[in-house]
Structure 1
């Protein structure tokens, strides 16, 4: 069985899609060949998933139609696959499998994709409240019971690749690493305040830890804000890697962390897929739809009357769902998860 997956456009969604790949391998056997058509940025994630044979770079940006390009890509893939599974709900995302003439084209109805998909599913949101359930269900016939326990994303790290990343940034593992992921592509309503992250960093550095900050180039300023809130002597025990690493390096370096604190973001899902002890901070969103999928996870949220609102900015302007969530709560959960790596060091 040769299957083409049209992949999602967000880091977290791509990580969670591994649950579908696992189900497909279980359904069709280890000889099932899974290729993923996705933006080039996702290649480091897909290369760390053993279920994926190859990542196929999709050259169009999010939202671009460019019909001629989609037709060309489809023609190049013609005659290769038995099935396509389209994870985005947009109409345009179903065009490449149609142009490729793939016999079985599976996906949720989405933007009225009649004719584009010939295995069109109607989503029952009550039956499948989790995003991974909506991904996994596409591996099976409509109405099938999903296998339990659910598979979890699990990215595989090559030791040589990790050592290269450590060497490039001059990092050592002589002390336990607290990874902080203070960014969120969604917007301000997902970002726990910099002063709260700094308070957590201060506490752990005083306990003998070092702090690595991760994120995109847009997150570099908030990383610097966090570091500048640390007093001299502690500040030097932190490094801002936001925007400095490639995604591949960020994944490999996150695998070294003794613990992670993150907003609800793509890197949160990466940390969970690396099975790092993780405290995930929720404000405007909820773990009831896209929770981090790992065994050593604590989610913290205040549950105010106005949240979760799922808005990018706070309609009241106060962001109390995040501002009032105190660092002590996160430190307490962190200590419970990570224990004391200084007395019981763990090999990442």
Structure 2
């Protein structure tokens, strides 16, 4: 264990689920050096998530949008960071542009996986990413010396890794429940029916409505989570539930801040979710997660929780990892019976 002060800069990922999973790296770094200072450069929306990770000292806003190059802006950011005198940077995205800022900031050790044209940008280049099955393994492996981590087996298996665990603010949770008039006495089912990736990850809204109806009959109240983009989906879902039961459904899509969503998900007994960022948040706050998989697979980014049910159906064309069904039938989602999911809600 290293007890000398070191300053670490993380170039964080741009997606919610990836950001949640990256906490495993920060936990591993702190295990090796408890007094290390870990700062994370990431999009502004990430800040609330990072503030719920006790290992993170500071979240630094990355003003350049995902996909933009903008060398001048990157140079300006690097010049500001140079005065921080970081000892090491971990670059989690795979792009060459994501590795530019640590280089321009003069950070002596720059660690990351081999990606597009990153030779020279990284000087602690890890070549064997595909030797690690899970994304969380790939993050944690970066915390160790290159010659110590050769494949998944050298990490001891998924169950031996530190899993993300977001902290919850009890006072903020009470306020959020009161804000949306959600009872703290009734068991709550969370539903996350959206999918930023595309329709091939989105279980049909009528199936979600069937699950909501059955859960209400079991005495649950139901919270619908999502962004403003999901409002049409959640509104349709609520309308498909029997009128007399709609009073037990709280449509929160686009109504909450991300941090309110974290605290409200933590108040749920069970969360049913497509393969999405919200699924990973639900796992990181300790919910019983029922993860619905269509075109994707849990063999790469499973929800990391002791209370998980993965549901999917085995047909020869899945997983295809496509945004839209190449065959146009979406059988991997449509044929997944809602009664199977309902049976797992106790």
TM category (shorter chain) comes to over 0.9
Partner of 1:317: 328
Structure 1 position 160, deviation (Å):
1.3
Instruction: Look up the SS of the partner of 2:244 in the other structure.
Output: coil
Distance 1:20 1:124 in 2: 15
Structure 1 position 147, deviation (Å):
5.7
Distance 1:170 1:58 in 2: 35
> For the aligned residues, what is the CA RMSD?
1.0
TM-score, normalised to structure 2, is 0.95
**1:46 and 1:55 in contact (8 A); partners too:** yes
Aligned length, in residue pairs: 333
Partner of 1:88: 93
1:176 is the counterpart of 2:187: yes
1:123 is the counterpart of 2:128: yes
Gaps of 5+ in 2: 1-5, 149-153
Structure 1 position 173, deviation (Å):
1.4
Partner of 1:57: 61
Which residues in structure 2 correspond to 1:15-94 (within 5 Å)?
15-28=20-33, 30-80=34-84, 81-94=86-99
1:234 is the counterpart of 2:238: no
1:158 is the counterpart of 2:164: no
Distance 1:215 1:124 in 2: 32
Please give the per-residue CA displacement for 1:38-83, whole angstroms capped at 9, x wherever unaligned. Answer: 0000011100001101100000110011111100100101142100
Distance 1:105 1:329 in 2: 47
Structure 1 position 174, deviation (Å):
2.3
Which residues in structure 2 correspond to 1:213-228 (within 5 Å)?
213-228=224-239
Structure 1 position 316, deviation (Å):
1.0
Runs of 4 or more consecutive aligned structure 1 residues displaced over 4 Å after TM superposition? none
**1:79 and 1:102 in contact (8 A); partners too:** no
Question: Would the alpha carbon gap of residues 237 and 262 (structure 1) be closer, same or farther in structure 2, given more than 3 Å must change?
Answer: same
Distance 1:43 1:211 in 2: 27
Instruction: Look up the SS of the partner of 1:228 in the other structure.
Output: helix
TM-score, normalised to structure 1, is 0.94
